[in-house]
Amino acid sequence: MDPNGYRSEMSPEPDSSPADVALFRLEQAIEGLKAAVASGYERRVLASLNEAGSALYSVWLFEEVRGRDQVAWAAEDPERRNVVGLVYARGEAEHQKKHVGMAAGFGEAPFGFGPFGGGWLWRECPTTRPAYASSQALYDEQVRWKSLAEPLERAYAWFVAHPR
């Protein structure tokens, strides 16, 4: 083992499951996003947000919830509603052939584009598909106008508390 507690030699079979690796990737992506926001470099923020969206989706796939069942899965649980809101934003970006950053922007206090101004925030993420209006409502409720990392950190915490 190295000083950090990691094995220095690869075993024939990894100790980490695919779900563990996906969750670790999400954790790293969130840390990268926070560093990007602190850097103030727009392209880095948007690229990091895109990576975080992809990492979130990789973890989400282990839930095995079909698209039309996502809102029912979320039910009235605010943390599940947050997860579905983020999955929706990632899905809309893909369907509209854009990056997840299409739903991000910088608001300048006190009169930024969001009601709270200031910083990198999630903004509108409208659907072009009426069947996803309920998912959009969860996005608007749980994600919209929050700082970029906050909903992702909440989703990560939910996945950690509910391992697959």
CA end-to-end span of the chain: 27
Q: What element of type H or E holds 135? A: helix 133-142
> What pLDDT was estimated at residue 14?
74
For residue 106, report the phi and psi dihedrals to the nearest 5 degrees.
-105, 125
Q: What is the mean pLDDT of each run of 10 residues along the chain (164 residues)?
A: 62 82 97 92 90 94 88 93 91 63 59 60 78 87 91 97 90
DSSP element (H, E) containing 36: helix 18-39
Task: Retrieve residue 7's tokens.
Answer: 């094995």
At residue 130, the pLDDT reads 81
Place of tokens 């697959």: 164
The pLDDT assigned to 100 comes to 61
Would you tell me how many other CB atoms lie within 10 Å of the CB of residue 113?
Answer: 13
Q: Give pTM, 2 decimals.
A: 0.83
The single residue listed with the structure tokens 């969130």 is: 30
